[in-house]
Amino acid sequence: MLADWGEFIAALAVFLLSHAIPVRPPVRPFLVRTIGLVPYLALYSLLSIAVLVWLVLAARYAPYVQILPDWDLLRWVPVVVMPLVCWLAVAGLSASNPLSFGGMGKRPFDPEAPGVLGFSRHPLPLALALWSLAHLLANGDLAHVILFGIFAGFSVMAMSMLDRRKQRQLGLDAWAAQARHTAWMRISALRVTGWQVILAVLIWGVLLMAHLPVIGVSPLP
């Protein structure tokens, strides 16, 4: 039985090690000094994508052990949640963000009008967390519960880590002043703009149509 899980266990171990070792303080500076920052980021990104693809495929072909109920209702969760995930990605990348992963926005961040940061100061990690949890519910077998549970855990850890890092970089008082109208997630602060909604819906539609030919499984129950 354990042999049947061999590839998934190996892929999971490589995934965890590939995200733990290269970013450690002794390792990352050495690699950056040796090969340069841009080659390091490029190689690390390629490695991360390759290992992620391997892990997803290994989970797909792992032995099926049902953990969650096989309800059609749960299969609708990603379909309903993914528009929000797509909007978070679009809004997060298009906004200036001194409190998390920097977006591509040209307008300086205004703490009094934080935009998407009012809903979440970590829109990209939150998008990954919601994506993970939604797919965990829709894929209730053991391998996918482990897979998406790890992704969700990484996302939450990233939000906590980013808060601590930014507090050190900015100073606690300056961070608190900029973050005073933000939160990890605050539904009441949800504000959307038309072009963001249109782009998010288009991306969601493409993902919906591409899911079956690319992943091999229909996203619809």
Nearest-angstrom CA–CA distance, 221 and 206 = 18
For residues 4-29, give the mean pLDDT: 84
Q: Are residues 86 and 152 in the same domain?
A: yes
pLDDT, residue 3, reads 62
Which phi-psi region, left, alpha or beta, contains residue 36 (left: φ > 0; alpha: ψ -120 to 50)?
A: left
Q: Are residues 138 and 215 in the same domain?
A: yes
Interior angle at CA 167, CA 25 and CA 152, nearest 5: 70
Nearest-angstrom CA–CA distance, 211 and 217 = 7
For residues 112-122, give the mean pLDDT: 93
What domain range is 196 assigned to? Answer: 65-221
Q: Are residues 18 and 97 in the same domain?
A: no
Q: Are residues 114 and 186 in the same domain?
A: yes
Q: Are residues 53 and 13 in the same domain?
A: yes
Q: Are residues 26 and 78 in the same domain?
A: no
How many C-beta atoms surround the C-beta of residue 55 within 10 A? 25
Q: Are residues 36 and 69 in the same domain?
A: no
For residues 166-172, give the mean pLDDT: 92
Residue 184 tokens, joined: 């990890």
Q: What is the pTM of this model?
A: 0.86
Given a contact cutoff of 8 angstroms between Cβ atoms, the answer to whether 58 and 7 are in contact is: yes
Q: Examine the fold and report which residue of 63, 80, 112 is the final residue of a domain before the chain moves on.
A: 63
Given a contact cutoff of 8 angstroms between Cβ atoms, the answer to whether 141 and 66 are in contact is: yes
pLDDT tier for residue 1 given thresholds of 50, 70 and 90: low
Cβ within 8 Å of residue 82, ≥6 positions away: 131, 134, 204, 207, 208
Cβ within 8 Å of residue 111, ≥6 positions away: 177, 178, 179, 180, 181
Task: List pLDDT tens digits, range 173-207.
Answer: 999 999 999 999 998 888 888 889 999 999 999 99
Q: Examine the fold and report which residue of 43, 63, 83 is the final residue of a domain before the chain moves on.
A: 63
How distant, in Å, are the alpha carbons of 11, 35, 46, 78, 83 from that of 53? 9, 25, 11, 20, 23
Q: Are residues 53 and 91 in the same domain?
A: no
For residues 149-163, give the mean pLDDT: 92
Given a contact cutoff of 8 angstroms between Cβ atoms, the answer to whether 162 and 101 are in contact is: yes
Q: Examine the fold and report which residue of 63, 79, 110 is the final residue of a domain before the chain moves on.
A: 63
Given a contact cutoff of 8 angstroms between Cβ atoms, the answer to whether 181 and 118 are in contact is: yes
Q: Are residues 45 and 126 in the same domain?
A: no
pLDDT tier for residue 77 given thresholds of 50, 70 and 90: very high
Given a contact cutoff of 8 angstroms between Cβ atoms, the answer to whether 81 and 74 are in contact is: no
Of residues 211 and 24, more confidence is placed in: 211
Q: Are residues 69 and 124 in the same domain?
A: yes
Nearest-angstrom CA–CA distance, 144 and 140 = 7
Lowest mean pLDDT among 39-53, 59-73, 139-153: 39-53
Q: Are residues 134 and 46 in the same domain?
A: no
Asked if residue 84 has pLDDT above 90, the reply is yes
| Structural domains of the chain, count | 2
Q: Are residues 111 and 204 in the same domain?
A: yes
Asked if residue 24 has pLDDT above 80, the reply is no
SS3 114: coil
Nearest-angstrom CA–CA distance, 74 and 138 = 5
